[in-house]
Amino acid sequence: MSFTHTLARKVAGVSLCVAIGFGGLAMGQAPQASAATKADKIISLGKNYLGVKYRFGAPSGSTSAFDCSSFTQYIYGKYGVKLPRVSSSQAKKGYAVAKSNLKKGDLVFFRVARTGKNIGHVGVYVGNNKMLHTYGKPGVTYSSINTSYWKSHYVTARRVL
């Protein structure tokens, strides 16, 4: 084998490794960018329903009224994320994330008086310790997860994106 041929093979091999390495880097980052984009779209869609009234047991697919889990089921479903109908079942999807590691689009779960120590409420984490959710008189609204009520009733969070 000539020196030129050997050098050409080495250059081609290094070029291939570099291309694969950068391609792998890009592929490794793509899901995060995609998840962040999807989270922003889900949150943006949810914002369109600010003020829509709360109704416990609101049917799936309805947009005239929501309960917490029909709201999350609806807005995530519009972007291809299938969630069960009730918050306690939604809390079994995806994987658990620490409260200190929340990202936009994570689902945050709480216990409420009606459910005792069990999960009975879900919201969408939107960043800056806030969630988009629906309950009571305000209907679809933003709330801080650090208010005394939500902080003391927090159970877990799940990443489904």
Residue 111 lies in a domain: yes
* HSE value, Cβ hemisphere, 13 Å, CA-based, for 127: 6
Interval 46-66 mean pLDDT: 96
CB 70 within 8 A of CB 121: no
Residue 21 has pLDDT above 70, yes or no: no
* 115, 100 contact by CB (below 8 A): no
The answer to whether 121 is a known catalytic residue is yes
Report if residue 12 sits inside a domain: no
Number of domains in the chain: 1
The reply to whether 11 falls in a domain is no
Please indicate, yes or no, if residue 105 is contained in any of the structural domains.
yes
Residue 24 — very low, low, confident or very high, per pLDDT cuts 50/70/90?
very low
Query: 133 an active-site residue?
Result: yes
CA 27 – CA 5 distance, rounded (Å): 32
Does 103 or 21 have the greater pLDDT score?
103
Write out the residue range of the structural domain in which residue 109 sits: 35-159
In a domain, 62, yes or no: yes
pLDDT, residue 26, reads 42
139 within domain boundaries: yes
Q: How confident is the model at residue 35 (pLDDT cuts 50, 70, 90)?
A: confident
Question: Is 34 a residue whose pLDDT tops 80?
Answer: yes
Residue 89 backbone dihedrals phi, psi, to 5 degrees? -80, -35
Q: Which helix (H) or strand (E) holds 133?
A: strand 130-135
Q: Is 153 a catalytic residue?
A: no
Position 127 in a domain: yes
Q: What is the CATH number of the domain that holds 51?
A: 3.90.1720.10
Residue indicated by tokens 């709480």: 110
Indicate the average pLDDT of the chain: 86
pTM of the full structure: 0.79
Q: What's at 106, amino acid-wise?
A: D
Which is the catalytic residue, given 5, 17, 68, 153?
Answer: 68
Active-site residue, selected from the candidate residues 5, 17, 121, 153: 121
DSSP 8-state secondary structure symbol assigned to residue 99: G
